[in-house]
Structure 1
Amino acid sequence: MKTTASLHGIIPPMVTPLLSNTEIDEEGLIKLIEHIISGGVHGIFLLGTTGEAPHLSYELRKEFIKKACSVINKRVPVVVGITDTSITGSLEIAQTASDAGADAVVISAPYYVSISQQEMVEYLEYLVPQLPLPFMMYNMPSCTKLHMSVETVRKAKELGALGIKDSSGDLAYLYALMDEFKDSPDFSIIVGTELFIPETIINGGHGAVPGGANMFPRLFVDLYEASKKGDITRIAELREKIIQIDNKIYSISSEGSKYIKSIKCALSEMGICNNFVSMPFTPFGAEKQNEMKQNISEIDFLEINK
């Protein structure tokens, strides 16, 4: 099954604005979507790692998909993460995404007990024929315990995958993907590591899913466009700003959950959405919040839409 969605450019993995473990921050959701879209992005990724999908109930995930797709209203393509330990749960979320008007679903390896490359292929062979939407792959070995081999990705492409998002942080692997599929321009190579965006685009990749685009969508769109043009001077200038995000936002904590918590805390300080994170995570305490407030005040490229 094919889609008219073009998987390229900057596709932010949107956080899930929450008021509690059972309630969506609806005002924050609207503000966040408008903030992201006004930055010129090329799509939005719902319920990825940054979206805290594994910690949300099926009911809340379904409600979020419906509300987000309604607000986005076809202005940009929407892809929805359906990875779960339960294949039935994955199919339920996929059907909700289809009914809500999403363009594609995103599949990673079921987590907790690690699976082999062959088991991943067999899983796809069973799952894909039942999907109501086109799909793309998501390589996230730090969370799933499976670093998808190039051969596994090739098998996924044969089953109809539109592309792959690689968040392994393995630049050699990323280059291997781009080399393997260089003669398949319709198979999108999308990077998750923010500092790899120029290398990806310059060497034949198609886009990125950067968490920082929740806060600074225009910055990442500018980096994508500079990379498309091969503008080395502009790339260097923008890369310095990406490093500033890492130093001032991501690095105020060392916890495994630091990216999600930092992005939500920063968005809260920017007046966009609530900083609540779902259990088992908890929001930053007063000391870290004050540190974030100070760091945000020092960033000279804030993108706040009044």
Structure 2
Amino acid sequence: MPTHADHPVAGVTIPLVTALDERGRPDAAAVQPLLAHVAAAGITTLMLAGTNGEGPLLSDGDVRAYTADVSARWRELVGERARVTVTVAGAGTRETLHRIEGLADVELDAVVALAPFYFRHTEHELLAHFRAIAAQGRPVVVYNSPGYTGNAFTVPLMRSLIEVPEIIGLKDSSGDLALLGQFCALAKQRPDFRVAQGVEWRMADALQAGAAGVVPGVGMLAPALCVELFRHGVRGDHTEAARLQREVDELAALFAIRPGCSGVVATKSALHLLGLCPPHAAPPFQPYTEDELAAVKDVLRRIR
């Protein structure tokens, strides 16, 4: 099992976008400038095919091809410190397992597994879902994102999941700081288990609560800022971490430009303006209007 130093959710993880060409096909070569940008800031861990990566909108074949190519490029760029995880999302257990099987020959440090979505499930059903994923032989990070799945993690569920040896971590995107604190307390029962915060406007608070990592979408735009915030937070300099959090929050204003689009179009539009990635997003996402792009440019002026 991973040590603290090389754990797949420790530190700052970049939830990488999936670069698409004009026809909507994944284009790993087009994300190379972004990879170089985040690597220069000291980032070592990527998470592919998550919310920012539009994973649920892509076929399992597209996710597999993009993951294989980006993983190879990232390991060449960063070296032995490179870590790569990939999110697997399905409406049910069968689809999720199918996506994991498609990644069998790809070098990964963990799969990041969401709860099923569309139907609401009992705690017993959710536990069975994650146990089936753990039985596939990969290290598993479970992913609590109730805003998208509708199936929220509870403390009793996490208590059961921590008992599964193959489940090595949690990414929590609930935004509930009290719940995160309870999850961090539970994690102390397992020396190899870590908790990461997936909500960028709660990073400083999460580190103070005991989180071992953060997964900020704005980290693609300002990776050095997020790394600095993380370092102050884990050192216990919470006043400085809170100050840096306010800078992160200014960038997170991007996500309010077009409410409801989960930040995908906002992030890709901003990255394109910075010369780091194409702007294209998978349908039904639509490009930003000129007025929306003007608002993006206004937010980008705040990057240091």
Give the TM-score normalised by the residue count of structure 1: 0.90
1:102 is paired with a residue of what secondary structure? coil
Answer yes or no: is the 8 Å Cα contact 1:21–1:279 preserved in 2. Answer: no
1:285 aligns with 2:289: yes
Query: For residue 11 of structure 2, what is the amino acid of its counterpart?
Result: G
Task: State the secondary structure of the residue aligned to 1:45.
Answer: strand
Q: Partners in 1 of 2:26 and 2:255 — Cα distance?
A: 24
Per the TM alignment, residue 258 of structure 1 is displaced from its structure 2 partner at its CA by 4.3
**What is the aligned partner in structure 1 of residue 302 from structure 2?**
299
Distance 1:126 1:271 in 2: 41
Q: How much does 1:150 deviate?
A: 1.4
- d(CA) in 2 for partners of 1:87, 1:233: 43
Residue identity opposite 1:33 in structure 2 = L
Indicate how the Cα distance of structure 1 residues 137 and 201 shifts in structure 2: closer, same or farther if over 3 A, else same.
same
The letter for the 1-side match of 2:196 is: I
Structure 2 residue runs without a partner (length 5+): none
Q: Contact conserved, 2:177 with 2:206, CA < 8 A, in 1?
A: no
Amino acid at match of 1:111: F
- Over 3 Å counting, the alpha-carbon distance change for 1:292 and 1:162 in structure 2 is same
Shift of 1:191: 0.5
Which of 154, 157, 169 aligns to 2:159? It is: 154
- Partners of 2:16 and 2:144 in 1: CA distance: 18
Bigger drift between 19-28 and 141-150 goes to 19-28
Q: Which amino acid aligns with 1:265?
A: S
Q: Percent identity?
A: 27
The residue number in structure 1 matching 2:269 is: 265
The one-letter code matched in structure 1 to 2:261 is: S
1:91 & 1:183 partners in 2: Cα distance?
A: 28
Q: Partners in 2 of 1:153 and 1:286 — Cα distance?
A: 45
> Residues 27 and 217 (structure 1 numbering): CA distance in 2 closer, same or farther, change over 3 Å?
same
| Pair 1:106–1:190, CA change in 2 (3 A) | same
In 2, Cα distance between equivalents of 1:59 and 1:183: 37
Are the structure 2 counterparts of residues 175 and 232 from structure 1 closer, same or farther at C-alpha, using a change threshold of 3 Å? closer
Residue 21 (structure 1) shift: 5.5
Note the residue ranges of structure 1 that are not aligned, 5 or more in a row. Answer: 302-306
Structure 2 residue 29 is the aligned partner of structure 1 residue 23: no
**2:14 match: secondary structure:** coil
Q: How far apart are the structure 2 equivalents of 1:201 and 1:46?
A: 23
Distance 1:217 1:70, change over 3 A: same
SS of 2:21's partner is strand
Check conservation: 2:196, 2:212, Cα contact below 8 A.
yes
Q: 1:35 maps to what in 2?
A: 37
Q: Which amino acid aligns with 1:148?
A: F
Cα deviation digits, residues 48-105 of structure 1 (max 9, x gap): 1111111111221111111111111263211111121253442343244342211110
Residue 50 (str. 1) matches residue 56 (str. 2): no
Runs of 4+ with deviation above 6 angstroms = none
- Most deviating of 276-285 and 135-144: 276-285
* Residue number in structure 2 paired with 1:200: 206
Q: Distance in 2 between matches of 1:243 and 1:113?
A: 33
Contact 2:61–2:102 (CA under 8 A) maintained in structure 1? no
Structure 2 residue aligned with 1:304: none
CA-based RMSD of the aligned residues comes to 1.9
Question: Match of 1:107?
Answer: 113
User: Is the Cα contact below 8 Å between 1:65 and 1:96 reproduced in 2?
Assistant: no
The 5 Å alignment of 1:136-147 reads 136-147=141-152
